Structure formats: C-alpha cells, structure tokens
Chain A
Amino acid sequence: MLPKKQASGFQVPKDYFSSLEDNVLTKITLTQFPKKSGFTTPEDYFSTINSKDFIIKNNSKPKVIKLANWKTISIATAVAAMLLVFFGLKNQMNPITIENVETVQLENYIFNTPFDIEELATMLEEDTFLTDNFSSFNVDNLEDYLLENTSIENLISE
C-alpha cells in the first residue's frame, strides 16, 4: 500500500503559470527571427581599445589665467559697436536744427562771420520783398529818423 499522497514540496515562481503562455508564444516567434544583428566591426577593432586613451591626468602645472581672450575681446567689441549705433541713432533722432541752437550762439556767429551782401541776397527769396510789407510804413517817421540818425558824410560814403 502506497503512503498517503503528500505534496512534493516543489514550488514555482510567482505568476509562473499566468505568464507561461506568453513566454512560450514569444519563444516560438523568436525562432523566426535572425539570430545575429548583422553588425560587424573592423578587424582587430577591440585590440585597439586601450584604457590609457581614456585616462585623464590631473594637470600639475599652475593654471594660467589669460587677461584677454577671444571671448572677452569679442564681448568688448560688441558692446563698443552697440554704443556707437546707439549714439548714431540718437543723433539721427535729434538732428541739429536752427531751433536747437542757442540764440546767443547764433548772434555770435552772425556778428563774427563776415557776410557778403550779395551772398545774403541770393539766400533771400523774392517773396520776402513783397511791397505790401512796406505799405504800413509812415513816411514822416522815416524822414524824422533819417534826419536824427544820419550824417551827410555817411550818406556821401555810401
């Protein structure tokens, strides 16, 4: 008579049976795939891989700090160029016109610059001399002015 049936004591990993179907089907599918990737290497490639090529030695030389390098110079140049453009644009936005010039400066310029009367005449436009501008002139006042403010000598010299 055989002894009463007992469990063998053998055990299986967790989820073994639930994942068995997937595992078997995957293995069957994989038999259709090529075993190798097809990638190759140059002959003796791996013998050329030397650890010495990858070792970075700590440099015992003192670190030389460059006072000027290309980066510093290029930044300085860029800033200088930006300043030039900025001031150039500012001048364009505020051009020097007659309105900007101080009156005193303008007077000084006129008094100190020898003008040619004919040069001045060419600058004046014809319509500046409209006779109507003189229509309000009082002739009596003019005669009085001339009598009081001129001398016969000045009139003769002109």
Chain B
Amino acid sequence: MLKDTQLLTELLDDRTKEFAFAKLVSQYKQPLYWHIRNIVKVHDDADDVLQNTFIKIFKNLDSFKGESKLYSWMYRIATNESITFINKKAKRMQITNEEAVNLAINNLEADVYFKGDTIQLKLQKAIATLPDKQQLVFNMKYFQEMKYKEMSAILDTSEGALKASYHIAVKKIEEFLRTN
C-alpha cells in the first residue's frame, strides 16, 4: 500500500497523474464501494454512485489542498454522492428520503444481490430507524470496522461524540430486534 503523501504527490503531477489514479482506484474501490452500499442498499445504485465518486475525485484532484487526509476526503465525496443519489431518487418518486431507503430495504428479500437471512434483513430495518448520522457511524464502525480516529476525520466529529453515538445506535438496534 502506497503512503498517502507519496500517492498525493504523484496524483498532482500531470506526468504521473493517470498512473497514480489507477493505483488509487485499485486501492480504494472496495472500501468505497461498501461504504456506499451500506448507505444506498442496492448494488446497481452503489455501482452508479461509486462511478460518480471516482469521476468527482479525479475532476477535483487539482483543487485538493491537503487540509485533510486523502482517504477522508474521498470518503466524504462518497458519502455526499450517496446522499445526493438518495435525494434525487426520492424526489423522482415524490417521497421522502426515509421512505426511499425503506422501499429499498423492503425490496431486499427479492434482491439478487442480498443473500442475508431473516435476522440480517431485520438488522437493515433496525439501522434504517436510526438518525442519518447514527446510521453512518454504525455502518462504518460495525461493518467497515473503521477506527474512531479515521471516522472522526471523515465525519468531522470528535471521537468521543462518535463513541457515544455508536453506543446509542447499538442500544436502539438491540431494542428494535427484541421487539420486532
């Protein structure tokens, strides 16, 4: 794995930009995909958002000032693109974002790219009942096994607040699983 600073230097040099970008895509396509998938739920939608994300990353490389780590900048783009996607989908269907996500979850049982059992489906429904940021925190900590330090840089929230948010999310999910 290339160090962040070395990769960034190569990305900002026109002579090495495309080669460095290929390495970037190779290194981050899976983690970014799963980050997006946990938000949008459906594979085809995640594929669209992933592509939009990489296009945006490439387009904006020259304006990346390096105030944050490269990976946290990319994850922020991926998060924003996912939310924008859900917003557009909801607007098209003239429903709320929450309803759009619930619709996607209710369709998971028939989804070819969902091999989960009853409890996994229930877990997705439980996660969908959480406030938006708590959902992000839970998915990033539980499924993506991110460290609080990494999450703090991406979500621009203190580690303490993230830990508290995670504990609350777990309690709420436990309550949902117990009562549903």
Q: Does B120 contact A34, Cβ atoms closer than 8 Å?
A: yes
Q: Does A56 contact B171, Cβ atoms closer than 8 Å?
A: no
Segment at the interface with B among A46-54, A65-73, A124-132, A137-145: A46-54
Binary interface encoding of chain A residues 26-69 relative to chain B, with 1 for a CB under 8 A from any of its CBs, else 0:
10011011101111111001100111111110000000000000
Tell me the minimal C-beta distance from A22 to chain B in angstroms. Answer: 5
Q: Does A40 contact B114, Cβ atoms closer than 8 Å?
A: yes
Interface set, chain B 31-77, CB cutoff 8 A to A: 33-34, 37-38, 41, 43, 47, 50-51, 54-55, 57-59
Q: Does A42 contact B174, Cβ atoms closer than 8 Å?
A: no
**The 9 residue pairs across chains A and B that have the minimum distance between CB atoms:** A38-B116, A38-B120, A51-B25, A54-B54, A51-B22, A49-B29, A34-B120, A54-B55, A26-B170
Q: Does A136 contact B (CB under 8 A)?
A: no
Q: Does A19 contact B (CB under 8 A)?
A: yes
Tell me the minimal C-beta distance from B89 to chain A in angstroms. Answer: 18
Q: Does A40 contact B25, Cβ atoms closer than 8 Å?
A: no
Please, which residue of chain B has its CB at the minimum distance from the CB of A47?
B29
Chain B residues near A26 (CB, 8 Å)? 166-167, 170-171
Q: Does A38 contact B43, Cβ atoms closer than 8 Å?
A: no
Q: Does B179 contact A (CB under 8 A)?
A: no
Q: Does A49 contact B43, Cβ atoms closer than 8 Å?
A: no
Q: Does B43 contact A32, Cβ atoms closer than 8 Å?
A: no
Counting chain A residues whose Cβ lies within 8 A of the other chain, the interface size class is 20 to 34
Q: Does A29 contact B43, Cβ atoms closer than 8 Å?
A: no
What residues of chain A have their CB less than 8 Å away from a CB belonging to chain B?
A: 15, 19, 22-23, 26, 29-30, 32-34, 36-42, 45-46, 49-56
Interface set, chain B 90-135, CB cutoff 8 A to A: 108, 113-117, 119-121, 123-124
Interface contacts beyond A32-B174, A39-B38, A46-B30: sample of 13 additional A-B pairs, CB < 8 Å, sorted by A: A26-B167, A37-B38, A37-B143, A38-B115, A38-B116, A38-B117, A38-B124, A40-B115, A42-B43, A46-B29, A49-B29, A51-B18, A53-B51
Q: Does A49 contact B25, Cβ atoms closer than 8 Å?
A: yes
A-B contact pairs, 9 of them (CB 8 A): A22-B167, A33-B177, A34-B123, A39-B38, A40-B113, A40-B114, A42-B113, A49-B50, A54-B54
Please, which residue of chain B has its CB at the minimum distance from the CB of A54?
B54
- Residue from A30, A36, A41, A45 in contact with B120 in the complex, judged by beta carbons closer than 8 Å: A36
Chain B residues near A51 (CB, 8 Å)? 18, 21-22, 24-26, 54
Given the interface contacts A26-B166, A51-B22, A55-B18, does A33 sit within 8 Å of B113 by beta carbon? no
